[in-house]
A and B are shown apart, each in its own frame.
Chain A
């Protein structure tokens, strides 16, 4: 493992204090409770028998994204850590999202398969 001892005064080094900051245990518990409540809300949509796929997507996707970002920011320390880690991960995540949205479009997902089930 390599960590900083004599790094040059770069942007990364200036923010090295962030890399050494860790949330308190109490904050971790609060974050976990928040995630548990969101999960319970997600699961409750299972009992909405009459809800269309469109409604479920509109309800569930924002909750999924909030949970995803919360885990990354707090449990994975991206909120406190060096910005370079955030950029590296967002690049991979963004690339995957763009590539596979294009793939789904190329395979006519939105116009036939998906929209058929929205109706």
Chain B
């Protein structure tokens, strides 16, 4: 797949040198994402340890709607594609397409969050509250934290869109879009793990 890569010159935002020869802001985002692995690792481990403990309330297999969650997962996965296209377009200097892809990514993220709100509401109506059982607490904490991450991502994408509409997001700020893109892809890979471990493995 390497032959499909194209060489695109990156335009420096402020253009001053760093000791590592790479962008400090981008490195900081990768450090943050590495540390966020620990947060989600702890939440996933807690869920695995607690999900079958306790006898009160509905069990995972009783409440999960796999076809519905599969559609939500697919929507989030496709938002990674639109985010990658948003980064590619701003690197090329195509501001118009960048706005379209940023808006589409934010919209797909909002659809995912809407699905999660619907899912939580349905589970609650079926008797699974946050304190109903230890499974409920672990499940809502894990997926809720992920939902908060997605929501923060949507806010950042909308901020980029507003910056772009005000004419403050040109090719010289491509790295800003790329860094927010890294965050967005991270919430996608976390969901890849959650979807398999929490939903698909009973």
Contact = CB atoms under 8 A, between A and B. Distances in A.
Contact of B9 (A10, A20, A77, A90): A20
Interface of B: 1-2, 4-10, 12-27, 30-31, 33-38, 40-42, 44-45, 48-49, 52-53, 66-67, 70, 73-74, 77-78, 80-81, 83-85, 87-88, 91, 173, 175-176, 178-179, 181-182, 185-186, 188-189, 192-193, 195-197, 200-202
A67 B44 CA distance: 18
A21 to B, nearest CB: 5
B128 to A, nearest CB: 20
Contacts, number: 217
Interface in A11-32: 12-13, 16-17, 19-32
A3 B49 contact: no
Contacts of A114: 48
Contact of A32 (B10, B52, B77): B77
Contacts of A93: 34, 37
A67 to B, nearest CB: 5
Interface of A: 1-8, 10, 12-13, 16-17, 19-32, 35-36, 39, 42-43, 45-46, 53, 56-57, 60-61, 63-64, 67-68, 71-72, 74-77, 79-80, 82, 84-85, 88-93, 95-97, 99-100, 103-104, 107, 109, 113-114, 117
A22 B35 contact: no
Contacts of A30: 1
